[in-house]
Amino acid sequence: MAKDPSPDDRRAFLKKVGTAAAALCAKGAVGETAVPPEASLGAVTDGAKRRSQEAFRIRAEAALRQKLLPRPAHPTNGDEARYPSRIASYTKALPHDDLGEVDPAAYGRFVDALESGEIADLDRVPMGDRAKLADPLCAYAFTLEGTDSHQLSLPAPPAFESAEEASEMAEVYWAAYTRDVAFSTFATDGVMAQAAADLSAFSDFRGPKAGGAVTPATLFRGSTPGDLTGPYLSQLLFRDIPYGPMTLPQRYRVPEAGQDFLTNYPEWLGIQRGVPSYGELKLDPTTRYLRNGRDLSEYVHRDFSYQAFLNGALILLGLGARPDAANPYRTSPTQSGFASFGGPHLLDLVARAANQGLRAAWYQKWIVHRRLRPDAYSGRVHNHLTRNARYPIREELLKSQVLPLLNQKNLGYLLPMAYPEGCPTHPAYPAGHATIAGACVTILKAWFDESFVLSSPVEAAPDGLSLVPYTGGPLTLGGELNKLASNVSLGRDTAGVHWRTDGTEGMRLGEAVAISLLRDHAATYGEPFDGFSLTRFDGTHITL
């Protein structure tokens, strides 16, 4: 993060802004009606004028702080330029040939339209079937609280030919193949042991490990503090939700077992060309607690943008979880928070951070990276192994133990998708769900005492019909919030629509969004306030 501006910078900036504002006021150019000269204000008190000036100072200093941030670099992995055929770029819904490779001229017009930022140019992009691109112009929306979306940066995602990309593809294949294995039985399931051993053999797999190896206890988990402690799912996905006058149990309609989509080539190709969907997902008539990857995939299929984190906020408020030590009302004998430092304040911040996170993600997706989705990559694997084409795919992926299993089951090497429509119609990197997760969880960690221990922890029985006690060590709120972010993020990987780095980097981007939002808001409170404190996803502790 850049240093705060110096007092001299502030004074010079405020003098310029004040002069400009005064000139506008004198001309009646502020707002829709003329601003009367100060002499005519009459009943306006000195206190009211001081209040107006102080509000202006806070706004101006926040703007200055953002203005003085260094302009970040936006590195890419070079794949778009490296492959004229665009085999490593997001192309869904555009015209494709029979190999699932995009029409180069259509892709060129697509990129030109994205870079122009004009809706008319995007309306003229050649398209395939009926699917529409998901809100590319959101990439140009401004964010005026916290850091603007174009001022936040991400590292380049793994390149198409890299060992890291090969390992991520193997992980997504295994997650899809094992969707029906209950989380509570990972440790004893033979296929999970096979998946762990296979991923351990990859030269650059960066998921969590134990003793240098992937194990059933680390499979498909995140890498933040708390991710490897306790049950696979966060406690905040099991607890009842106090929802105004109602209480909502977290039992959901989940898919019937064994349903996979786009495992035959004509359907896979049709989806790349923009066919909206193939088939229909059949839901179990019995509601269940989330108990396996298929259930979690469907949760993050139908959730609204910040649902898990709104629920988490309501659960924690209902539990009376300890607020952060900086909350000015934590020890007050006569007052409690409400619109500031109370429930309404928290719920507003969670929603606000979610939308700002999406704006940051959409800029990176559409304008910077345009990373292909795993289902598109699996088409390259399939065509390579069936000798219809040759692609620069790592040999360690082509030799993965998961590919013969998929071929035996589906007569091919396409990624079994959890959704009949396949992936969303926007690029992969970073994941929108993960960026929202990072932003919202950062708000919740700033708000509550992360050391608070959640009592009576549980996990879902293998059939999802009941909750059973978890008898391991204590589960802290900070760890379970981190786990909640990872569950939401990795649930999209399990569905087949994202890569691991879409999630890990998306969460970090969301964290940066929320931190900048909290920093700007810290100057607006009437209460004495020393600043929010929280533990970042990398384990470092900060105070804002």
Active site residues: 426, 433
Neighbouring C-beta atoms of residue 525, cutoff 10 Å: 12
Q: What is the pairing mode between strands 467-469 and 458-460? A: antiparallel
DSSP assignment of 363-405 equals HIIIIII-BPPHHHHHHHHHHHHTTS------HHHHT-THHHH
Place of tokens 């929320």: 514
CA 334 to chain centre: 40
Q: Say if CB 287 and CB 298 are below 8 A apart.
A: no
Name the nearest CA neighbour of 376 among 302, 305, 426, 430: 426
Angstrom distance (rounded) from CA 74 to CA 511: 18
- Coil/strand/helix, residue 235: helix
Name the nearest CA neighbour of 13 among 78, 66, 64: 64
Angle separating helix axes 307-319 and 343-363, nearest 10 degrees: 160
Angstrom distance (rounded) from CA 231 to CA 467: 12
Residues in the chain: 544
Joined tokens for residue 11: 């004074």
Name the nearest CA neighbour of 271 among 416, 387, 120, 157: 416
Local structure of residue 311 (DSSP, 8 states):
H
Phi-psi region of 61 (alpha: psi -120 to 50; beta: other; left: phi over 0): alpha
- Coil/strand/helix, residue 172: helix
For the chain, the first-to-last Cα distance in angstroms comes to 12
Percentages of the chain per state (helix, strand, coil), in multiples of 5: 45, 5, 45
Burial of residue 69 (number of CB atoms within 10 Å: 0-12, 13-18, 19+)? middle
Angstrom distance (rounded) from CA 337 to CA 254: 39
Local structure of residue 255 (DSSP, 8 states):
B
Listed in sequence order, the DSSP H helices in 134-263 are 163-177, 190-200
Tell me the C-alpha to C-alpha distance, in Å, between residue 517 and each of 291, 364, 521, 540: 35, 19, 6, 19
Q: What is the pairing mode between strands 246-248 and 241-243? A: antiparallel
For 136-171, give one letter per residue: b (16+ CB within 10 A) or e: bebbbbebebbbbbbbbebebbbbbbbbbbbbbbbb
